[in-house]
Amino acid sequence: MIPSMQTDFDAIPIDRKPPDGEMYDVMGGSSRWEVKVHEHGLVALIDVMPRLVPAGKTADFAIVQAARVSYGQGTKQINEDRGLIRYLARHRHSTPFEMIEFKFHHVMPIFVARQWIRHRTACLAGDTVLSFDLPGAERRGRRQHYGMAIERFHRLWEKGAEPIPAAKRKPVHTDRVGPHERYSISELSRLVGRREETLRNMVRAGSLIGERSDGRVYVWGSQWHRWAKAQFSIRVPMQDRLRRMKLRMCNEHTGAIEHTTVTDVWSTGVKPLFSVTLENGCKLKMTADHRCLTESGWMTLGAATNLRLGAGNGVTWDAAAPAFAVNGELVHRSAEWLRQHKSAGWDVRRMALACGVSYHTIRKNLHRHGLQFTPAERAVLSGAAQRGQRRTFHRAAFGPDWLEKVRSARSGPNSNFWKGGVSSDRADIGRWTTQVAARVHRDNGYACVSCGSKADLEAHHVDPVWHNPSRARDISNLTSLCGHCHGEIHRQNLELTFLKHLNSGHSASEFWQLNPAAQPRPQGRRSGAPTKLMRHWSRIARIDFAGEEMTYDLSVAGPFHNFVANGFIVHNSVNEYSARYSVVRDRFYHPSIENVRKQSAANRQGGDEPMDELTAKEFSDYLDKVEASYADYQKLIDKGVARELARIGLPVNVYTEWYWKIDLHNLFHFLSLRMDAHAQQEIRDFANAMFALVRPIVPVAAEAFLDYNFGSMHLTRLEVEAIRNGQPLGTENKRENAEWETKKQRLGL
């Protein structure tokens, strides 16, 4: 906060109004409500917003209040609060239900948490660009931004790179195989030049269709011809590469833009989005509950702006909303960074060294932000530099020696006109090159010696200065290149190749024909100054409702769980217990024998029937062995192995915990998926516990959820026509027909 701005905020009058009547705590004065789940699991309700409501009402009051503000005259015919809430739920309105928020504390097995996090609600649009820095540029001390849309990142993460056509390595010899003949594996092996085991593996994998007869496997020649004509492709997995990419994030302590890595990414379904445009031009589409870094800390878009969606999709927000943190500006241009380090007693030279810029660049930016050193501050810095030094004064003789001493004392770095070494030796070489460039271009006919262009000529050192400084001021070492050729030679690191080309007697005009390939960066070539970025702030210029789109989200490695997206600094919506910084507790989920389930034949994601007792006992013994690894984990921690490495051997039935904040609309969406009979039993137990906690807080909304969402049924167009006409479903898709039969049973048809 800028000190001069603090006074203005303090001067703003705040009218603190008492409540109109008696208020009631919806949690009855309790600090938290808890429900125990399984042996070690827990669901706890920590807080509710609103916490206080008028006496005689529940938190449902906030839904009614928001709806009547939003819809104005449109709801006056609905007099009762219960009728209005049920109307909103029946017609799938969302904004009024987002006015109620819950904060939970969850303790659950990791395998449940991984399913849980797939249904996070704070999401970004698919065209959101993630900001990465290329590692090659970082090794040279610079930043080179590489943007990738989160939708493409998700596709690469899940499916890998685009398929690459794969040619068959060996001849297929179709001329030796009759399409209407049947061959044993050994016969086909001799004809097509493949190992018998290779052909058997192809049959097992389904690449070749074989048939068994008399204890042997036979393949028809037509099957070999089919395989020979088939086009195959390979898809390169990308997760390991994507995990190593350096994603920009903000150090929340210093404000510096640093790096993190992605740990997971997922799609979160079609959701309503708001397009937020800042004054600096940054634009991002996100859900109203996505958290962003603001001047007031981490806040959801809805909380930061008091976002309201009205009739006709018009959007209203508070003009006094805090400024949002954005990607970053060069650290030496950041008023926040300069002010912070000036207050810490840094002088200009120290700031310049830390930023990798010149002394005068820092002075210019101090002046731009009105942060020049006062005479008193300069005196303090000067005194600090001279503290502990002693001087002896004596009268010098006025002779030739004295004049020489005066000259040396007033020249170079000793002169009071010295500018801090701005004119370095490299700068002197550049100035000299500029002075003699006209002579060089005249000798070369004012044309590029490589391509003949006369545009944007540069005087190029044939033997680079970094390679041979002794020829830096040798005019015979200069030649004329156009801007394009000069830039390409440096960009592709071809300086030494160009030197070798000319020394071998070749003409410069032949260079690009003989040397088209880029070369690796020479070790002796100097690197540029490091580029450091600081987050800065920008206020909202506009918010629009963007409609509904497919959304995505990702999780990143700590300690700061944020990342840069379209210039905004945004956060994960979950902050989980970190085994990187803390020792994992000895808690495991171990199902009872009767709860061990058999894999469902219809549902690939779960199980339904109980497993036979012998196999269930075997599974339980397996878990005992897995859980015994905790002793080894604790032993390695005690020996000093880093926690971030020791944790990787722990099983997914160990417990983790987090604090989770969500609004009522998105909570109902989550519960509709995880209370469903098709959900895994373990996460269903946690979802049921959450619903049991929120039901007394919002009894009318909970009843509407059961009536119009959880207990309802979606019918497709084909299913509506089948009911209307009394005909079978108009599709041959087996899955759709099976789902239709299930719905008919529920409907009693």
How would residue 583 be classed by pLDDT, with cut points 50, 70 and 90? low
Q: Which residue has the higher pLDDT, 427 or 69?
A: 427
Indicate the range of 199-208, 219-228, 508-517 predicted with least confidence. 508-517
The 3-state secondary structure of 518-564, one letter per residue: CCCCCCCCCCCCCCCEEEEEECEEEEEEEEEEEEEEEEECCCCCEEE
At residue 269, the pLDDT reads: 73
- Structure tokens belonging to residue 24: 């009631």
How would residue 559 be classed by pLDDT, with cut points 50, 70 and 90? confident
* Residue pair 309/545 in contact by the 8 Å Cβ criterion: yes
Q: What is the CATH number of domain 124-160+244-330+532-572?
A: 2.170.16.10
Looking up tokens 């006094």 gives 320
How would residue 6 be classed by pLDDT, with cut points 50, 70 and 90? very low
At residue 439, the pLDDT reads: 92
Q: Which residue has the higher pLDDT, 603 or 457?
A: 457
- Structure tokens belonging to residue 519: 């070369």
Mean pLDDT over 723-737 rounds to 81
Query: Which residues, at least 6 apart from 567, have a Cβ–Cβ distance to it below 8 Å?
Result: 131, 278, 280, 282, 284, 326, 327
Q: CA 74, CA 409: separation in Å to the nearest integer?
A: 86
Which pTM was predicted?
A: 0.48
Is the pLDDT at 730 greater than 50, yes or no?
yes
Q: CA 666, CA 555: separation in Å to the nearest integer?
A: 19
* Residue pair 551/126 in contact by the 8 Å Cβ criterion: yes
At residue 601, the pLDDT reads: 59
- Structure tokens belonging to residue 272: 């309503």
How would residue 118 be classed by pLDDT, with cut points 50, 70 and 90? low
Cα angle 322, 327, 331; round to 5 = 105
Q: CA 502, CA 504: separation in Å to the nearest integer?
A: 5
The backbone torsions φ and ψ at residue 109, rounded to the nearest 5 degrees and listed phi first, read: -65, 150
At residue 395, the pLDDT reads: 66
| Tens digit of each residue's pLDDT (9 = 90 or more) over 234-259 | 778 888 889 889 999 998 888 888 88
Q: Which residue has the higher pLDDT, 214 or 414?
A: 214
| Tens digit of each residue's pLDDT (9 = 90 or more) over 397-410 | 677 887 787 777 77
Nearest to 658 by CA among 51, 112, 38: 112
- Which sequence spans correspond to the domains of the chain? 19-121+656-710, 124-160+244-330+532-572, 164-234, 444-514, 593-652, 717-747
Question: How many residues are present in the chain?
Answer: 749
- Helix axis angle, 483-491 to 495-503, nearest 10°: 110
At residue 682, the pLDDT reads: 87
| Tens digit of each residue's pLDDT (9 = 90 or more) over 322-348 | 999 988 777 777 787 788 888 888 888
Q: CA 549, CA 160: separation in Å to the nearest integer?
A: 23
The backbone torsions φ and ψ at residue 343, rounded to the nearest 5 degrees and listed phi first, read: -65, -30
Query: Which residues, at least 6 apart from 551, have a Cβ–Cβ distance to it below 8 Å?
Result: 123, 124, 125, 126, 267, 268, 269, 270, 271, 273, 287
* Residue pair 27/45 in contact by the 8 Å Cβ criterion: yes
Q: CA 232, CA 212: separation in Å to the nearest integer?
A: 26
- The yes-or-no answer on residue 674 being catalytic is yes
At residue 518, the pLDDT reads: 53
At residue 9, the pLDDT reads: 65
- Structure tokens belonging to residue 209: 């269709």
Mean pLDDT over 506-516 rounds to 82
| Tens digit of each residue's pLDDT (9 = 90 or more) over 375-388 | 877 776 666 656 66
Nearest to 460 by CA among 287, 41, 476, 183: 476
Q: CA 532, CA 551: separation in Å to the nearest integer?
A: 32
At residue 264, the pLDDT reads: 80
Which CATH number is correct for 164-234, 1.20.1250, 1.10.10, 2.60.120, 1.10.3470?
A: 1.10.10
Indicate the range of 70-74, 357-361, 453-457 predicted with least confidence. 70-74
- Name residue 540's beta-bridge partners: 278
Mean pLDDT of the chain: 81
- Structure tokens belonging to residue 210: 């074989």
Indicate the range of 141-155, 396-410, 567-581, 618-632 predicted with least confidence. 567-581
Mean pLDDT over 665-688 rounds to 86
- Structure tokens belonging to residue 11: 């001067």
Q: CA 607, CA 650: separation in Å to the nearest integer?
A: 24
* Residue pair 37/689 in contact by the 8 Å Cβ criterion: yes
Is the pLDDT at 76 greater than 50, yes or no?
no
Classify residue 380 as exposed, middle or buried by CB count within 10 Å of its CB (0-12, 13-18, 19+).
middle
| Tens digit of each residue's pLDDT (9 = 90 or more) over 444-501 | 999 999 888 888 899 999 999 888 989 989 999 999 999 888 988 888 888 888 898 8
At residue 600, the pLDDT reads: 63
Q: What percent of the chain has pLDDT over 70?
A: 87
Q: What is the CATH number of domain 19-121+656-710?
A: 3.30.1360.170
Catalytic position from the list 333, 431, 674, 717? 674
Query: Which residues, at least 6 apart from 515, have a Cβ–Cβ distance to it below 8 Å?
Result: 494, 497, 498, 501
Mean pLDDT over 24-45 rounds to 91
Classify residue 193 as exposed, middle or buried by CB count within 10 Å of its CB (0-12, 13-18, 19+).
exposed
* Residue pair 701/63 in contact by the 8 Å Cβ criterion: yes
Q: CA 273, CA 737: separation in Å to the nearest integer?
A: 34
Q: CA 663, CA 670: separation in Å to the nearest integer?
A: 11
Is the pLDDT at 71 greater than 60, yes or no?
no
